[in-house]
Homo-oligomer: A and B are copies of this chain.
Amino acid sequence: MNLLTPDSLPPALQAATTYRDLTAEQVVFRQDEQALAIFIVETGRVRLDRYTKEGKTTVFQVARVGESFAESALFLDVHSCDALAEVPSRVIIYPKQPLLSALRNCPDLAEDFLERLVRKSQSLKARLELRSIRSARNRVLHYLLVEAQPGETTVNFDRPLKDVAGDLGLTPEVLYRTLARLEREGMITRTNQQITLHPSAA
């Protein structure tokens, strides 16, 4: 039983499930709009972010295939951020009341949902930790070390570096300048969408 495969879910929840196709840059919802549903990314990629008074963006999450977003709709009335498709995407939409009922009746589904929320919290903590690193150089280096899979030294980006800059809380210009500096220092090698960390970076 899994939110990514609606066919596996209780009939009442299946009946309430809908889908939406999104073009690149299309908005799923805006912050402060009424929160009526929880979403799963079936294809594509959805970014969740919030604007501060200073006009800066805080990226809360980049939801990829199989990942959920807006789970807080279960208990809160409005969305706390915007959701926007970064590329052409398709989302599964679970209205909150039928989902809450299914969670009460299916311990497996509830456990899967709990685990999603725990992993979401871990990812928010990692973003918070990143933001606590003042120097752009150290922040970028920390990000690359975290993004490289354990035992690997290469990071493959599935999105433009200007979007990655948003995750880091840096302007694209500062990110490009910092990567150029790390390359001059011999810490990394770059090709188009790939960065390799050298042993000196660890």
Binding site for B on A (CB under 8 A): 50, 52-54, 56-58, 60, 71-72, 74-76, 80-81, 100, 103-105, 107, 110-111, 113-115, 117-122, 124-125, 127-129, 131-135, 138, 142, 169
Known: A60-B125, A105-B107. A54 touches B133 (CB 8 A): yes
The residues of B that contact A115 with a CB separation of less than 8 Å are 74-75
Known: A54-B133, A119-B75. A114 touches B125 (CB 8 A): no
For A104, the closest partner residue in chain B by CB is B107
Give A197 Cβ to nearest chain B Cβ, in Å. Answer: 15
Asked if B58 and A128 make an inter-chain contact with CB atoms under 8 angstroms apart, the answer reads yes
Q: Give Cα A88–Cα B134 distance, bound, in whole angstroms.
A: 33
Q: Give Cα A128–Cα B128 distance, bound, in whole angstroms.
A: 5
Known: A104-B111, A128-B128. A118 touches B71 (CB 8 A): yes
Asked if B72 and A132 make an inter-chain contact with CB atoms under 8 angstroms apart, the answer reads no
A118: contacting residue among B75, B111, B142, CB under 8 A: B75
Asked if A118 and B52 make an inter-chain contact with CB atoms under 8 angstroms apart, the answer reads no
What are 7 residue pairs bridging A and B, where the CB atoms are less than 8 Å apart in the complex? A50-B125, A75-B115, A80-B122, A103-B107, A107-B110, A127-B128, A131-B169
Known: A58-B132, A60-B128; 18 extra A-B contacts, CB below 8 A, are: A50-B125, A54-B133, A54-B134, A58-B125, A58-B128, A74-B114, A74-B115, A75-B119, A104-B110, A105-B107, A113-B114, A117-B118, A121-B124, A124-B124, A124-B125, A128-B128, A131-B131, A131-B132
